Structure 1
Protein backbone atom coordinates (compact mmCIF):
# COMPACT_ATOMS: atom_id res chain seq x y z
CA UNK A 1 0.00 0.00 0.00
CA UNK A 2 3.00 2.34 0.06
CA UNK A 3 2.50 5.68 -1.67
CA UNK A 4 5.43 8.08 -1.84
CA UNK A 5 4.54 11.33 -0.12
CA UNK A 6 6.02 13.94 2.19
CA UNK A 7 9.51 14.11 3.66
CA UNK A 8 10.71 12.28 6.75
CA UNK A 9 8.71 13.34 9.80
CA UNK A 10 10.34 13.80 13.21
CA UNK A 11 8.20 13.43 16.32
CA UNK A 12 8.55 14.79 19.84
CA UNK A 13 8.60 12.49 22.84
CA UNK A 14 4.94 13.27 23.47
CA UNK A 15 4.03 12.51 19.88
CA UNK A 16 5.83 9.18 20.03
CA UNK A 17 3.85 8.37 23.17
CA UNK A 18 0.66 9.21 21.25
CA UNK A 19 1.77 6.81 18.53
CA UNK A 20 2.30 4.19 21.21
CA UNK A 21 -1.34 4.55 22.22
CA UNK A 22 -2.40 3.99 18.59
CA UNK A 23 -0.02 1.05 18.38
CA UNK A 24 -1.59 -0.62 21.38
CA UNK A 25 -5.02 -0.36 19.75
CA UNK A 26 -3.62 -2.22 16.75
CA UNK A 27 -2.05 -4.80 19.06
CA UNK A 28 -5.41 -5.39 20.76
CA UNK A 29 -7.18 -5.78 17.40
CA UNK A 30 -4.60 -8.30 16.18
CA UNK A 31 -4.81 -10.22 19.47
CA UNK A 32 -8.58 -10.52 19.05
CA UNK A 33 -8.20 -11.67 15.45
CA UNK A 34 -5.53 -14.19 16.44
CA UNK A 35 -7.81 -15.72 19.07
CA UNK A 36 -10.68 -16.07 16.59
CA UNK A 37 -8.76 -17.30 13.52
CA UNK A 38 -9.86 -20.96 13.49
CA UNK A 39 -11.12 -23.34 10.81
CA UNK A 40 -14.64 -22.38 9.75
CA UNK A 41 -14.25 -18.66 10.44
CA UNK A 42 -14.31 -16.29 7.47
CA UNK A 43 -11.84 -13.50 6.86
CA UNK A 44 -14.87 -11.22 6.66
CA UNK A 45 -15.73 -12.07 10.26
CA UNK A 46 -12.16 -11.29 11.29
CA UNK A 47 -12.43 -7.93 9.57
CA UNK A 48 -15.60 -7.07 11.47
CA UNK A 49 -13.98 -8.07 14.74
CA UNK A 50 -10.89 -5.94 14.15
CA UNK A 51 -13.00 -2.92 13.24
CA UNK A 52 -15.10 -3.33 16.41
CA UNK A 53 -12.01 -3.47 18.64
CA UNK A 54 -10.53 -0.40 16.96
CA UNK A 55 -13.73 1.66 17.19
CA UNK A 56 -14.40 0.57 20.77
CA UNK A 57 -11.02 2.10 21.65
CA UNK A 58 -12.09 5.43 20.15
CA UNK A 59 -9.86 4.96 17.11
CA UNK A 60 -10.53 4.66 13.38
CA UNK A 61 -9.31 1.86 11.07
CA UNK A 62 -6.45 3.23 8.94
CA UNK A 63 -7.14 0.94 6.00
CA UNK A 64 -10.88 1.45 5.55
CA UNK A 65 -11.34 3.70 2.53
CA UNK A 66 -7.60 4.22 2.06
CA UNK A 67 -7.26 4.78 -1.71
CA UNK A 68 -10.56 2.91 -1.95
CA UNK A 69 -9.61 -0.15 0.12
CA UNK A 70 -12.91 -1.69 1.29
CA UNK A 71 -12.01 -3.21 4.68
CA UNK A 72 -10.37 -2.61 8.06
CA UNK A 73 -7.71 -5.31 7.74
CA UNK A 74 -5.79 -6.92 4.93
CA UNK A 75 -6.30 -10.69 5.08
CA UNK A 76 -3.82 -12.52 2.86
CA UNK A 77 -4.36 -16.27 2.71
CA UNK A 78 -1.68 -18.77 1.66
CA UNK A 79 -0.27 -17.61 -1.72
CA UNK A 80 -1.54 -14.06 -1.12
CA UNK A 81 1.37 -11.93 0.01
CA UNK A 82 -0.25 -8.63 1.02
CA UNK A 83 -3.37 -6.49 0.57
CA UNK A 84 -5.84 -9.38 0.50
CA UNK A 85 -9.45 -8.21 0.78
CA UNK A 86 -11.44 -9.96 3.55
CA UNK A 87 -14.65 -11.70 2.53
CA UNK A 88 -17.49 -13.61 4.17
CA UNK A 89 -17.05 -16.23 1.44
CA UNK A 90 -13.38 -16.82 2.25
CA UNK A 91 -13.47 -19.39 5.05
CA UNK A 92 -10.39 -20.57 6.91
CA UNK A 93 -9.43 -24.25 6.78
CA UNK A 94 -7.06 -26.39 8.80
CA UNK A 95 -3.49 -25.86 7.60
CA UNK A 96 -4.01 -22.37 6.18
CA UNK A 97 -1.42 -19.63 6.61
CA UNK A 98 -3.09 -16.24 7.07
CA UNK A 99 -1.31 -12.89 7.15
CA UNK A 100 -3.32 -10.12 8.79
CA UNK A 101 -2.24 -6.49 8.43
CA UNK A 102 -3.99 -3.90 10.61
CA UNK A 103 -3.78 -0.16 11.17
CA UNK A 104 -5.50 2.34 13.45
CA UNK A 105 -5.63 6.11 13.83
CA UNK A 106 -5.95 7.51 17.35
CA UNK A 107 -5.89 11.27 17.95
CA UNK A 108 -4.38 11.77 14.51
CA UNK A 109 -1.53 9.27 14.92
CA UNK A 110 -1.14 5.95 13.13
CA UNK A 111 -0.14 2.46 14.25
CA UNK A 112 0.52 -0.36 11.78
CA UNK A 113 1.33 -4.01 12.41
CA UNK A 114 0.94 -7.43 10.80
CA UNK A 115 1.07 -11.05 11.93
CA UNK A 116 1.00 -14.38 10.14
CA UNK A 117 -1.35 -16.86 11.77
CA UNK A 118 -1.24 -20.64 11.60
CA UNK A 119 -4.80 -21.94 11.26
CA UNK A 120 -5.21 -25.27 13.00
CA UNK A 121 -2.22 -27.49 12.27
CA UNK A 122 0.05 -26.20 9.52
CA UNK A 123 2.88 -27.96 7.75
CA UNK A 124 6.39 -27.74 9.18
CA UNK A 125 7.72 -25.77 6.18
CA UNK A 126 4.88 -23.28 6.41
CA UNK A 127 5.51 -22.74 10.12
CA UNK A 128 9.22 -22.35 9.47
CA UNK A 129 8.43 -19.73 6.83
CA UNK A 130 6.37 -17.69 9.27
CA UNK A 131 8.98 -18.04 12.00
CA UNK A 132 11.75 -16.96 9.62
CA UNK A 133 9.78 -13.88 8.57
CA UNK A 134 9.18 -12.91 12.18
CA UNK A 135 12.88 -13.34 13.01
CA UNK A 136 13.80 -11.18 10.03
CA UNK A 137 11.43 -8.47 11.23
CA UNK A 138 12.95 -8.44 14.71
CA UNK A 139 16.46 -8.35 13.28
CA UNK A 140 15.47 -5.23 11.36
CA UNK A 141 13.77 -3.63 14.36
CA UNK A 142 16.93 -4.02 16.43
CA UNK A 143 18.84 -1.92 13.87
CA UNK A 144 16.45 1.03 14.24
CA UNK A 145 19.10 2.99 16.11
CA UNK A 146 19.98 6.67 15.93
CA UNK A 147 23.09 7.15 13.79
CA UNK A 148 22.54 4.03 11.70
CA UNK A 149 21.54 4.26 8.05
CA UNK A 150 18.17 3.23 6.71
CA UNK A 151 19.52 0.26 4.76
CA UNK A 152 21.21 -1.11 7.86
CA UNK A 153 17.67 -2.24 8.69
CA UNK A 154 17.22 -3.63 5.19
CA UNK A 155 20.46 -5.58 5.38
CA UNK A 156 19.59 -6.98 8.81
CA UNK A 157 16.24 -8.23 7.47
CA UNK A 158 17.88 -9.83 4.45
CA UNK A 159 20.70 -11.42 6.45
CA UNK A 160 18.31 -12.90 9.00
CA UNK A 161 16.06 -14.30 6.27
CA UNK A 162 19.02 -15.89 4.49
CA UNK A 163 20.36 -17.33 7.74
CA UNK A 164 16.95 -18.84 8.51
CA UNK A 165 16.72 -20.33 5.02
CA UNK A 166 20.07 -22.04 5.49
CA UNK A 167 19.17 -23.30 8.96
CA UNK A 168 15.74 -24.53 7.83
CA UNK A 169 16.94 -26.08 4.58
CA UNK A 170 14.39 -23.98 2.69
CA UNK A 171 14.60 -21.49 -0.14
CA UNK A 172 12.91 -18.27 0.97
CA UNK A 173 12.05 -15.59 -1.57
CA UNK A 174 12.45 -12.05 -0.21
CA UNK A 175 9.85 -9.71 -1.68
CA UNK A 176 11.66 -6.64 -3.02
CA UNK A 177 8.94 -4.43 -4.54
CA UNK A 178 6.99 -4.09 -1.28
CA UNK A 179 8.51 -3.03 2.01
CA UNK A 180 8.37 -0.84 5.08
CA UNK A 181 7.80 2.89 5.35
CA UNK A 182 7.78 5.95 7.50
CA UNK A 183 4.67 6.43 9.63
CA UNK A 184 3.17 9.06 11.90
CA UNK A 185 0.53 11.63 10.97
CA UNK A 186 0.00 9.52 7.84
CA UNK A 187 0.09 5.76 7.47
CA UNK A 188 2.58 5.71 4.59
CA UNK A 189 5.29 8.34 4.56
CA UNK A 190 8.90 8.69 3.48
CA UNK A 191 11.23 6.90 3.58
CA UNK A 192 10.47 3.67 1.71
CA UNK A 193 12.25 0.85 3.56
CA UNK A 194 13.41 -2.06 1.37
CA UNK A 195 13.64 -5.56 2.83
CA UNK A 196 17.02 -6.24 1.27
CA UNK A 197 20.11 -4.32 0.26
CA UNK A 198 23.60 -3.29 1.22
CA UNK A 199 24.11 -1.55 4.59
CA UNK A 200 25.22 2.04 5.07
CA UNK A 201 22.93 3.64 2.51
CA UNK A 202 19.94 5.95 2.65
CA UNK A 203 19.21 8.63 5.23
CA UNK A 204 20.72 8.52 8.69
CA UNK A 205 18.26 7.47 11.34
CA UNK A 206 17.44 10.18 13.87
CA UNK A 207 15.67 10.33 17.19
CA UNK A 208 12.00 11.03 16.53
CA UNK A 209 11.71 8.98 13.35
CA UNK A 210 9.13 6.19 13.22
CA UNK A 211 9.17 3.32 10.75
CA UNK A 212 7.10 0.28 9.89
CA UNK A 213 9.43 -2.69 9.43
CA UNK A 214 7.64 -5.41 7.44
CA UNK A 215 9.42 -8.29 5.70
CA UNK A 216 7.49 -10.60 3.37
CA UNK A 217 8.97 -14.00 2.54
CA UNK A 218 7.78 -16.82 0.29
CA UNK A 219 8.43 -20.54 0.07
CA UNK A 220 9.48 -20.15 -3.55
CA UNK A 221 10.05 -17.37 -6.03
CA UNK A 222 9.92 -13.75 -4.90
CA UNK A 223 8.06 -12.80 -8.08
CA UNK A 224 4.57 -11.42 -7.47
CA UNK A 225 1.60 -10.12 -9.40
CA UNK A 226 -1.47 -8.06 -8.56
CA UNK A 227 -4.91 -9.56 -9.08
CA UNK A 228 -7.72 -7.92 -11.02
CA UNK A 229 -9.15 -6.43 -7.82
CA UNK A 230 -6.14 -4.04 -8.01
CA UNK A 231 -5.18 -4.81 -4.42
CA UNK A 232 -4.37 -8.45 -3.73
CA UNK A 233 -0.73 -9.38 -4.36
CA UNK A 234 0.01 -13.08 -4.91
CA UNK A 235 3.08 -15.19 -5.61
CA UNK A 236 3.40 -15.99 -9.30
CA UNK A 237 4.45 -19.59 -8.60
CA UNK A 238 1.63 -20.20 -6.09
CA UNK A 239 4.02 -20.67 -3.16
CA UNK A 240 2.89 -19.63 0.29
CA UNK A 241 3.90 -16.31 1.81
CA UNK A 242 4.28 -14.81 5.27
CA UNK A 243 4.21 -11.18 6.44
CA UNK A 244 5.18 -9.73 9.80
CA UNK A 245 5.27 -6.05 10.75
CA UNK A 246 5.77 -3.72 13.70
CA UNK A 247 5.91 0.06 14.04
CA UNK A 248 9.10 1.22 15.73
CA UNK A 249 10.24 4.61 17.02
CA UNK A 250 13.87 5.65 17.15
CA UNK A 251 14.55 7.06 20.60
CA UNK A 252 17.56 8.15 22.62
CA UNK A 253 17.31 4.81 24.43
CA UNK A 254 17.15 2.69 21.28
CA UNK A 255 14.24 1.19 19.35
CA UNK A 256 10.78 1.37 20.91
CA UNK A 257 8.41 -1.11 19.23
CA UNK A 258 5.15 0.81 19.48
CA UNK A 259 2.83 -2.01 18.36
CA UNK A 260 4.27 -4.71 20.66
CA UNK A 261 2.31 -4.92 23.94
CA UNK A 262 5.31 -6.11 25.89
CA UNK A 263 7.76 -3.39 24.79
Structure 2
Protein backbone atom coordinates (compact mmCIF):
# COMPACT_ATOMS: atom_id res chain seq x y z
CA UNK A 1 0.00 0.00 0.00
CA UNK A 2 1.24 3.49 -0.88
CA UNK A 3 0.87 6.11 1.87
CA UNK A 4 0.66 9.73 0.73
CA UNK A 5 2.03 12.14 3.33
CA UNK A 6 0.44 15.29 4.73
CA UNK A 7 2.34 18.57 4.80
CA UNK A 8 3.02 18.08 8.52
CA UNK A 9 4.37 14.58 7.92
CA UNK A 10 6.62 15.87 5.14
CA UNK A 11 8.12 18.39 7.57
CA UNK A 12 8.87 15.57 10.02
CA UNK A 13 10.48 13.63 7.19
CA UNK A 14 12.54 16.72 6.36
CA UNK A 15 13.93 16.84 9.90
CA UNK A 16 15.01 13.21 9.74
CA UNK A 17 16.60 13.71 6.34
CA UNK A 18 18.43 16.86 7.35
CA UNK A 19 19.94 14.89 10.23
CA UNK A 20 21.14 12.34 7.69
CA UNK A 21 22.61 15.20 5.67
CA UNK A 22 24.41 16.58 8.72
CA UNK A 23 25.71 13.11 9.56
CA UNK A 24 27.14 12.73 6.06
CA UNK A 25 28.70 16.17 6.53
CA UNK A 26 30.48 14.83 9.62
CA UNK A 27 31.68 11.87 7.57
CA UNK A 28 32.99 14.25 4.89
CA UNK A 29 35.31 15.81 7.49
CA UNK A 30 37.17 12.54 8.09
CA UNK A 31 37.15 10.64 4.76
CA UNK A 32 40.84 10.40 3.88
CA UNK A 33 43.53 7.78 3.25
CA UNK A 34 44.28 5.77 6.39
CA UNK A 35 40.80 5.96 7.93
CA UNK A 36 38.89 2.72 8.39
CA UNK A 37 35.27 2.28 7.42
CA UNK A 38 34.64 1.21 11.02
CA UNK A 39 35.77 4.65 12.19
CA UNK A 40 33.26 6.27 9.83
CA UNK A 41 30.54 4.11 11.34
CA UNK A 42 31.48 5.05 14.90
CA UNK A 43 31.38 8.77 14.07
CA UNK A 44 28.02 8.44 12.34
CA UNK A 45 26.32 6.46 15.11
CA UNK A 46 27.56 8.80 17.81
CA UNK A 47 26.36 11.87 15.91
CA UNK A 48 22.93 10.37 15.17
CA UNK A 49 22.33 9.31 18.77
CA UNK A 50 23.66 12.61 20.16
CA UNK A 51 20.94 14.31 18.11
CA UNK A 52 18.16 12.24 19.62
CA UNK A 53 17.68 9.83 16.73
CA UNK A 54 18.25 6.14 16.04
CA UNK A 55 20.32 4.74 13.13
CA UNK A 56 17.71 2.80 11.15
CA UNK A 57 20.23 0.52 9.45
CA UNK A 58 21.59 -1.01 12.65
CA UNK A 59 19.85 -4.33 13.27
CA UNK A 60 17.89 -4.14 10.03
CA UNK A 61 16.71 -7.71 9.34
CA UNK A 62 18.14 -9.86 6.57
CA UNK A 63 15.92 -12.73 5.36
CA UNK A 64 19.06 -14.62 4.30
CA UNK A 65 21.30 -14.09 7.31
CA UNK A 66 22.22 -11.90 10.26
CA UNK A 67 20.79 -8.41 10.82
CA UNK A 68 22.88 -5.51 9.55
CA UNK A 69 25.56 -4.89 12.20
CA UNK A 70 26.34 -1.20 11.66
CA UNK A 71 24.79 2.27 11.48
CA UNK A 72 25.88 3.13 7.93
CA UNK A 73 26.73 1.23 4.77
CA UNK A 74 30.25 1.83 3.44
CA UNK A 75 30.71 0.43 -0.07
CA UNK A 76 34.28 0.74 -1.36
CA UNK A 77 35.29 0.76 -5.04
CA UNK A 78 33.59 -2.24 -6.70
CA UNK A 79 31.07 -2.59 -3.88
CA UNK A 80 27.73 -1.23 -5.10
CA UNK A 81 25.67 -1.09 -1.89
CA UNK A 82 25.35 -2.49 1.64
CA UNK A 83 29.06 -2.73 2.40
CA UNK A 84 29.62 -3.48 6.10
CA UNK A 85 31.94 -1.07 7.96
CA UNK A 86 34.91 -2.67 9.64
CA UNK A 87 38.68 -2.90 9.34
CA UNK A 88 38.90 -1.82 5.69
CA UNK A 89 41.49 0.98 5.49
CA UNK A 90 40.68 3.59 2.85
CA UNK A 91 43.53 4.19 0.41
CA UNK A 92 44.45 7.07 -1.87
CA UNK A 93 42.44 6.68 -5.08
CA UNK A 94 39.56 4.76 -3.50
CA UNK A 95 35.92 5.77 -3.62
CA UNK A 96 33.45 4.99 -0.85
CA UNK A 97 29.67 5.24 -0.95
CA UNK A 98 28.24 6.09 2.46
CA UNK A 99 24.54 5.33 2.84
CA UNK A 100 22.91 6.61 6.03
CA UNK A 101 19.47 6.31 7.61
CA UNK A 102 17.89 7.85 10.72
CA UNK A 103 14.66 7.50 12.65
CA UNK A 104 13.55 10.70 14.37
CA UNK A 105 10.13 11.81 15.65
CA UNK A 106 8.46 8.78 14.07
CA UNK A 107 9.83 9.25 10.54
CA UNK A 108 12.82 8.04 8.56
CA UNK A 109 15.60 9.75 6.66
CA UNK A 110 17.73 8.12 3.95
CA UNK A 111 20.48 9.50 1.73
CA UNK A 112 23.79 8.40 0.20
CA UNK A 113 26.87 10.07 -1.25
CA UNK A 114 29.95 8.59 -2.92
CA UNK A 115 33.17 10.19 -1.67
CA UNK A 116 36.59 10.37 -3.30
CA UNK A 117 39.50 9.32 -1.08
CA UNK A 118 42.53 11.41 -1.95
CA UNK A 119 43.40 11.66 -5.63
CA UNK A 120 40.95 9.61 -7.72
CA UNK A 121 41.37 8.82 -11.42
CA UNK A 122 39.39 11.08 -13.72
CA UNK A 123 37.65 8.06 -15.29
CA UNK A 124 36.17 7.19 -11.90
CA UNK A 125 35.38 10.81 -11.01
CA UNK A 126 33.40 11.05 -14.25
CA UNK A 127 31.35 8.01 -13.19
CA UNK A 128 30.55 9.77 -9.92
CA UNK A 129 29.59 13.01 -11.64
CA UNK A 130 27.34 11.22 -14.12
CA UNK A 131 25.60 9.24 -11.37
CA UNK A 132 24.95 12.37 -9.34
CA UNK A 133 23.67 14.21 -12.43
CA UNK A 134 21.39 11.25 -13.19
CA UNK A 135 19.93 11.48 -9.69
CA UNK A 136 18.84 15.07 -10.32
CA UNK A 137 17.45 14.16 -13.74
CA UNK A 138 15.32 11.54 -12.04
CA UNK A 139 14.20 14.07 -9.43
CA UNK A 140 13.14 16.49 -12.19
CA UNK A 141 10.60 13.87 -13.27
CA UNK A 142 9.13 13.38 -9.79
CA UNK A 143 6.13 15.65 -10.29
CA UNK A 144 2.37 15.03 -10.16
CA UNK A 145 0.97 13.43 -13.30
CA UNK A 146 4.22 11.76 -14.36
CA UNK A 147 4.84 8.08 -13.73
CA UNK A 148 7.48 6.03 -11.96
CA UNK A 149 8.78 4.88 -15.34
CA UNK A 150 9.61 8.48 -16.23
CA UNK A 151 12.03 8.68 -13.30
CA UNK A 152 13.74 5.41 -14.20
CA UNK A 153 13.85 6.26 -17.90
CA UNK A 154 15.61 9.58 -17.26
CA UNK A 155 18.27 7.92 -15.11
CA UNK A 156 18.77 4.92 -17.38
CA UNK A 157 19.03 6.89 -20.62
CA UNK A 158 21.52 9.38 -19.22
CA UNK A 159 23.80 6.73 -17.70
CA UNK A 160 23.63 4.26 -20.58
CA UNK A 161 24.28 7.06 -23.07
CA UNK A 162 27.55 7.56 -21.19
CA UNK A 163 28.31 3.80 -21.51
CA UNK A 164 27.69 2.95 -17.86
CA UNK A 165 25.74 0.03 -16.39
CA UNK A 166 22.49 0.52 -14.47
CA UNK A 167 21.97 -1.97 -11.65
CA UNK A 168 18.52 -3.60 -11.84
CA UNK A 169 18.39 -5.80 -8.74
CA UNK A 170 18.38 -2.95 -6.21
CA UNK A 171 16.10 0.07 -6.50
CA UNK A 172 14.81 3.13 -4.67
CA UNK A 173 11.71 3.01 -2.50
CA UNK A 174 8.93 4.79 -0.72
CA UNK A 175 9.79 6.19 2.70
CA UNK A 176 7.88 7.45 5.73
CA UNK A 177 7.30 5.87 9.11
CA UNK A 178 9.12 2.85 7.68
CA UNK A 179 12.45 3.08 5.89
CA UNK A 180 11.22 0.93 2.99
CA UNK A 181 7.65 1.51 1.87
CA UNK A 182 5.85 1.07 -1.41
CA UNK A 183 6.41 1.84 -4.22
CA UNK A 184 9.69 0.51 -5.54
CA UNK A 185 11.52 3.14 -7.60
CA UNK A 186 13.71 1.50 -10.29
CA UNK A 187 16.59 3.34 -11.95
CA UNK A 188 15.41 2.06 -15.33
CA UNK A 189 12.05 2.11 -17.07
CA UNK A 190 9.81 3.30 -19.87
CA UNK A 191 8.31 6.73 -20.17
CA UNK A 192 4.59 6.82 -19.40
CA UNK A 193 4.58 3.49 -17.54
CA UNK A 194 4.18 2.64 -13.88
CA UNK A 195 2.30 4.23 -11.03
CA UNK A 196 1.10 7.81 -11.49
CA UNK A 197 2.88 10.21 -9.14
CA UNK A 198 0.65 12.17 -6.77
CA UNK A 199 1.20 15.04 -4.35
CA UNK A 200 2.32 13.70 -0.98
CA UNK A 201 4.24 10.71 -2.34
CA UNK A 202 7.64 10.51 -0.61
CA UNK A 203 10.34 8.37 -2.21
CA UNK A 204 14.07 7.74 -2.07
CA UNK A 205 15.65 7.92 -5.52
CA UNK A 206 19.07 6.26 -5.63
CA UNK A 207 20.93 5.50 -8.86
CA UNK A 208 23.46 2.65 -8.53
CA UNK A 209 25.67 2.89 -11.60
CA UNK A 210 28.67 0.83 -12.69
CA UNK A 211 31.80 1.67 -14.64
CA UNK A 212 31.61 -1.67 -16.46
CA UNK A 213 28.65 -3.95 -17.05
CA UNK A 214 25.68 -4.02 -14.70
CA UNK A 215 26.09 -7.59 -13.41
CA UNK A 216 26.44 -7.89 -9.63
CA UNK A 217 27.41 -10.51 -7.05
CA UNK A 218 26.34 -10.93 -3.42
CA UNK A 219 29.29 -11.46 -1.08
CA UNK A 220 29.40 -14.25 1.51
CA UNK A 221 28.47 -11.87 4.34
CA UNK A 222 24.93 -11.80 2.96
CA UNK A 223 24.89 -8.00 2.64
CA UNK A 224 27.71 -6.57 0.53
CA UNK A 225 26.94 -6.34 -3.19
CA UNK A 226 29.77 -5.84 -5.70
CA UNK A 227 30.16 -5.66 -9.46
CA UNK A 228 30.89 -8.99 -11.12
CA UNK A 229 33.71 -7.50 -13.19
CA UNK A 230 35.11 -5.70 -10.11
CA UNK A 231 34.96 -2.30 -11.76
CA UNK A 232 33.91 0.65 -9.63
CA UNK A 233 30.33 1.57 -8.84
CA UNK A 234 28.76 4.84 -7.67
CA UNK A 235 25.68 5.49 -5.55
CA UNK A 236 23.91 8.78 -4.79
CA UNK A 237 20.55 9.08 -3.05
CA UNK A 238 18.04 11.76 -2.08
CA UNK A 239 14.69 11.49 -0.33
CA UNK A 240 12.10 13.68 -2.04
CA UNK A 241 8.44 14.64 -1.71
CA UNK A 242 6.22 14.98 -4.75
CA UNK A 243 4.60 18.41 -4.51
CA UNK A 244 2.84 20.79 -6.87
CA UNK A 245 5.52 22.13 -9.19
CA UNK A 246 9.01 20.66 -8.83
CA UNK A 247 9.98 17.93 -6.37
CA UNK A 248 10.86 18.96 -2.82
CA UNK A 249 14.27 17.48 -1.93
CA UNK A 250 14.08 16.64 1.79
CA UNK A 251 17.69 15.50 2.16
CA UNK A 252 20.70 17.63 1.25
CA UNK A 253 24.28 17.41 0.02
CA UNK A 254 25.02 20.96 1.19
CA UNK A 255 26.70 19.91 4.45
CA UNK A 256 28.98 17.53 2.55
CA UNK A 257 29.87 20.00 -0.15
CA UNK A 258 30.51 22.82 2.32
CA UNK A 259 33.22 20.57 3.79
CA UNK A 260 34.62 19.34 0.47
CA UNK A 261 34.62 22.74 -1.22
CA UNK A 262 36.31 22.62 -4.62
CA UNK A 263 36.89 18.87 -4.20
CA UNK A 264 33.16 18.09 -4.26
CA UNK A 265 31.88 15.98 -7.16
In structure 2, the residue corresponding to 1:26 is in which secondary structure? Answer: helix
- CA shift for structure 1 position 161: 1.4
Extract unaligned runs of 5+ from structure 1: 1-6, 166-170
Report if aligned partners of 2:145, 2:197 keep a CA contact under 8 Å in 1: yes
Mapped partners of 2:102, 2:149: distance in 1: 27
In structure 2, the residue corresponding to 1:254 is in which secondary structure? Answer: coil
Query: 1:220 and 2:219 equivalent?
Result: no
> Which residue is equivalent to 2:184?
192
- CA shift for structure 1 position 130: 0.6
Question: Which digits, 9 at most, give the CA deviation of each residue in 1:193-227, with x for residues without a partner?
Answer: 11111111111111111000000111101000101
Alignment of 1:160-239 (within 5 A): 160-163=158-161, 165=162, 171-239=163-231
Alignment of 1:90-169 (within 5 A): 90-163=88-161, 165=162
> Which residue is equivalent to 1:3?
none
Report if aligned partners of 1:38, 1:92 keep a CA contact under 8 Å in 2: yes
Query: 1:23 and 2:35 equivalent?
Result: no
Mapped partners of 1:124, 1:55: distance in 2: 37
Moved over 3 A (4+): none
> Which residue is equivalent to 1:168?
none
> Which residue is equivalent to 1:54?
48
**1:261–1:214 distance in 2 versus 1, CA, 3 Å:** closer
Query: 1:84 and 2:83 equivalent?
Result: yes
**1:19–1:97 distance in 2 versus 1, CA, 3 Å:** same
Extract unaligned runs of 5+ from structure 2: 62-66, 255-265
- CA shift for structure 1 position 56: 1.4
- CA shift for structure 1 position 252: 2.1
The RMSD of aligned alpha carbons is 1.2
TM-score, scaled relative to structure 1: 0.93
Report if aligned partners of 1:61, 1:72 keep a CA contact under 8 Å in 2: yes
TM-score, scaled relative to structure 2: 0.92
> Which residue is equivalent to 2:6?
12
Report if aligned partners of 1:24, 1:261 keep a CA contact under 8 Å in 2: no
Mapped partners of 2:43, 2:139: distance in 1: 28
Report if aligned partners of 1:135, 1:161 keep a CA contact under 8 Å in 2: no
**Which 10-residue stretch deviates more, 142-151 or 12-21?**
142-151
- CA shift for structure 1 position 261: 5.9
Mapped partners of 2:245, 2:209: distance in 1: 30
